[in-house]
Amino acid sequence: MQDIPQKVTKILTEKLGIAASEITPEANFVKDLGIDSLDYAEIVMEFEQTFDIRIPDDDAEKLQTYGQAVSYIQDKVDKK
């Protein structure tokens, strides 16, 4: 599934109302994108629904940057 980065970017821009140009592989969800815990929970749920995967809470806590999220989702999708 080649479009995982685009879908993750779309989810972030729609949920947070930020410009796609603000999203870089190193962009930290909290420090750079200003995501709070409620936003983050909603985004994780959106990732799960969009990609038809399950993200355990322990794993979700480790996803701190856009790049980490894309890599994690890619890995989960590849293992389905």
Give the domain range for residue 53. 4-79
Nearest to 45 by CA among 30, 60, 35, 32: 60
At 7-23, the pLDDT tens digits run 999 999 999 999 999 99
Average pLDDT in the chain = 93
Q: Give the domain CATH number at 15.
A: 1.10.1200.10
The SS3 call for residue 28 is strand
At 23-59, the pLDDT tens digits run 999 999 999 999 998 999 999 999 999 999 999 999 9
Nearest to 53 by CA among 38, 40, 72: 72
**Residue pair 65/26 in contact by the 8 Å Cβ criterion:** yes
The number of distinct structural domains making up the chain is: 1
Provide the whole-model pTM: 0.91
pLDDT recorded at residue 2: 64
**Residue pair 25/61 in contact by the 8 Å Cβ criterion:** no
Catalytic residues: 36
